[in-house]
Amino acid sequence: MINDELTYKIIGCAMQVHKKLGNGFQEVIYQRCLAIEMESTGLNFEREKEQTIYYNNIQVGTRRADFIVESQIMLELKALIKLEDIQLAQAKNYLVAYNLPLGLLINFGSNSLQFHRIYK
């Protein structure tokens, strides 16, 4: 599996945030708290990194992933009661746009932390 140690650290940080806050906050609160946790463990990341989207070599828009960790893993956060297929599709599209092999979709909105590894 790609980047097991790195994904383990990221998920551990997310678990700490969920343990301390529980569910019910807006996504941006979890994003800020996760940034604090990842920084405290020494993970390098870019937050809200914008990426240009092209179609037939023509710029058609931009998207922002919540985090790019260690220039290797795209991290998309949600705060929903239940994840739907559309969130998984969005995370997979971000992998294509950022040309990364691995992403994590993390949901803080349920009673237990949910996470999915996403592969390009």
Give the C-alpha separation, 60 to 117, whole Å.
27
Strands, E assignment, 34-113:
45-55, 58-69, 73-78, 102-107
Position 20 pLDDT exceeds 70: yes
**Side-chain-side CA neighbours of residue 60 (13 Å):** 7
Residue 39, pLDDT score:
97
How confident is the model over 50-67, as pLDDT tens digits?
A: 888 888 999 999 989 999
DSSP per-residue codes, 9-20 = HHHHHHHHHHHH
How confident is the model over 77-94, as pLDDT tens digits?
A: 999 999 999 999 999 998
From the options 3.40.1350, 1.20.120, 3.30.450, 1.10.1740, give the CATH code of 4-119.
3.40.1350
Contact of 109 with 80, CB cutoff 8 Å: yes
Helix (H) and strand (E) counts in the chain: 3, 5
